[in-house]
Amino acid sequence: MAFLTLFQALLILSLAASTLSTRPYKNGLTPYFYDYVCPQALPAIKRVVEGAVQQERRMGASLLRLHFHDCFVNGCDGSILLDSTATIESEKFAAPNNNSARGFEVIDQIKAEVDRVCGHPVVSCADILAVTARDSVVALGGPSWKVRLGRRDSTTASRTTANNDIPAPNMDLPALINNFKRQGLKVKDLVALSGAHTIGFAQCFTFRNRTFNDSNINQAFAKNLRSYCPRTGSDSNLASLDPTPARFDTLYYNNLLTQKGLLHSDQALSTGESALELVKSYSHDYEAFWKDFAKSMVRMGNIKPLTGNQGQIRSNCRRLN
């Protein structure tokens, strides 16, 4: 009888601990949101992401960028995915996204597969972007983290806000700090999240001015960039953001210490004491970078989510129900 009583007590404690671990955070998000509704959802997302990245390594960076550009425009609500209509000015045509943001067809594939395995539209497009960002980083050798889930999709988009709030490649450090501060993010988040530029490419028009006019740039590096990004034309020519654009490592930060940051906004991280100390730390300590990057991705994913009865769960990520 005593054993049974002890067993019952342990069972009660175990259930209590389980309840606490799955309880939503204050903003209504929890990593376990789909555990009972559709446990097949996250594995389905991972399969499609891995396939897309295997087919084109650059796609990992593109999918990560979609989540970033979504969250900085009125919160992580999937608004970046909406096409233009009579009432919606698509964010896809905002200056930071136009002829630049990509991976929408992969999101469409993920949405179709998730809805198939779940039996109906239960996973929001906003959550798909958040999970896809994590799985893209992992697919390129980076860290993993528990994505908080339960976002709902917006019923609006704002091209104007996208133009104003997505950080620009020509920003200096004070402007970047203020930009992130408006989103509730700190200097550590700025430096850690900028490490996303350890993967992917940028178009010539985003770094041309730096190669010809900045003083804090390695001259041999600048000369090489100017060879395929001249003063005029070739706007869409690509350059890698660090020497290993398909591997999530710390070479991005090493580049900043030798004045080889591709974008003006990248190199700006080396111009302030607190930011520079983080750059130095991350350049030789990948574990510190990975840990802080994961934490900052969670914080960014918490920006003004729609939950409960707000918004909707879109059947098609490109248009409203």
User: Where do the DSSP E strands lie in 147-304?
Assistant: 201-203, 238-240
Place of tokens 């309880």: 23
Beta bridge partners of 319: 316
Residue 227: strand, helix, or coil: helix
Residue 94 is given by DSSP the state S
Residue 80 is given by DSSP the state G
Question: What's the token pair of residue 245?
Answer: 């654009």
Q: How far apart are CA 307 and CA 133, in angstroms?
A: 20
Place of tokens 């233009």: 84
* Helices and strands counted in the chain (H then E): 14, 2
Residue 98 is given by DSSP the state T
Q: How far apart are CA 31 and CA 145, in angstroms?
A: 10
Return the amino acid letter for 268: A
Q: How far apart are CA 42 and CA 123, in angstroms?
A: 10
Q: Which of 69, 120, 264, 284 is catalytic?
A: 69
What is the DSSP secondary-structure string of 170-193?
A: T--HHHHHHHHHHTT--HHHHHHH
**Could you tell me which residues come within 8 angstroms of residue 250 by beta carbon, excluding any fewer than 6 positions away?**
195, 198, 282, 283, 284, 285, 286, 289
Instruction: Tell me, yes or no, if 284 is annotated catalytic.
Output: no
Place of tokens 């350890």: 198
Contact (Cβ atoms closer than 8 angstroms) between residue 195 and residue 247: no
Residue 197 is given by DSSP the state G
Q: Which residues have a catalytic role annotated?
A: 69
